[in-house]
Structure 1
Amino acid sequence: MRLWTLHPRFLDRQGLLAVWREGLLARAVLHGRTRGYRHHPQLERFRAHAEPSLAIDAYLAAVHEEACARGYLFDRGKFGPLRPVAGIVATAGQLEFEWRHLLRKLAVRDPALYERWRERRPTCHPLFLLEPGPVAPWERP
C-alpha cells in the first residue's frame, strides 16, 4: 500500500489507479470493514488524525479530482461527503523520498513522463502540510 504524500498530478496512469484502489482499501480499514492491512504503517498518519474518516475522504477527493481531470471515471460514491478537515503534517524528507521512489518507477514504466518530471520539484497532496524533517519513521527504507 502506498498513500502518496506527493500530489496525484505527478502519478502516471498506473500510479493513479493504484493510489485510488489503495486509498479505498485504507478507507475500508479505517472504517473497520476489513481485517487485512489493519497494521499497515502507511495508515499511521491517518489514524493519528483527529478525524481519520474525514481525512481519508479528503485524500480520496483529491485523487478523484485528478482522475476526473484526466478523463477517468472514478466512482465518487466510494467515499463520503466532504467536510473541512485539518491537514496532516508531512516532512520534506518524506516528500523527497517518495519523489525519488516515483521517479525510479517512471523511468521504467513511462520514460516520457519521467523526462517531464525529473527536473521538477514536487508538491504535496492537498491534505498534507509540509514541514522540514526527515523521512517518516514508518517508511520502509
Structure 2
Amino acid sequence: MRLWSLHPQHLDRAGLVAGWREALLAQAVLAGRTKGYRHHPQLVRFTATPKPLESIGAFLSGLRDEAELRGYQFDASRILEPAAEVAQIPVTQGQITFEWHHLGKKLMRRSPEDAHRWEHSGPSPHPLFIVVSGEMERWERP
C-alpha cells in the first residue's frame, strides 16, 4: 500500500488509479470493514488524527479532484466521509524528498513522458498534508 504524500498531479495514470484503489482499501481498514492491513505503517498518520475516516476522505477527495481534472471518473460516492474541512496532517520534508525520488524511479520505468515532466518539476504535497522539517517519517519502509 502506498498512500503518496505528494500531490496527485505528480502521479502518472497508473499511479493515480493505484492510489485511488489503495486509499479505498485504507478507508475500508479504518472503517473496520476488513481484517487485513490493520497494522500497515502507511495508516499511522490517519489513525493519529482525531477523525481518521474524515482524514482518509480528504485524501481520497484530493485524488478524485485530480482524476476529474484529467477527465477520469472516480466514484465520489465511495468516499465514506467526504470531509469539507479537515485539519492538515504534518509530513516531513524528508518524507516528501524520499517519495519524490521513489516516484521518479517508478516513472522512469513505466512512463517516460511523465518521467520527463517529473525531471522538470519539483515536489509538492497532497493538499491534506503540510510539510514540516524533519527526516523521513518513522513509519516509512524504504
Name 1:2's counterpart in structure 2: 2
Q: Which runs of 4+ in 1 moved over 4 A?
A: none
Name 1:66's counterpart in structure 2: 66
Name 1:112's counterpart in structure 2: 113
Given that 2:46 and 2:56 are in contact with CA atoms closer than 8 Å, whether structure 1 keeps it comes out as yes
Q: Give 1:82 shift.
A: 2.5
Name 1:45's counterpart in structure 2: 45
1:35 aligns with 2:19: no
Secondary structure of the residue aligned to 2:53 is helix
Secondary structure of the residue aligned to 1:85 is coil
What residue ranges of structure 1 are gaps of 5+ in the alignment? none
What residue ranges of structure 2 are gaps of 5+ in the alignment? none
Deviations 1:28-76 (A, max 9, x none): 0000000010010000000001111110000000100000111111101
Give the TM-score, by structure 1 length: 0.97
Give the TM-score, by structure 2 length: 0.97
Secondary structure of the residue aligned to 1:140 is coil
Identity over the aligned pairs, expressed in percent? 53
Q: Output the CA distance in 1 between the equivalents of 2:47 and 2:11.
A: 24
Which region of structure 1 is more displaced relative to structure 2, 54-63 or 72-81? 72-81
Q: Give 1:112 shift.
A: 1.4
Q: Give 1:113 shift.
A: 1.0
Q: Give 1:119 shift.
A: 3.2
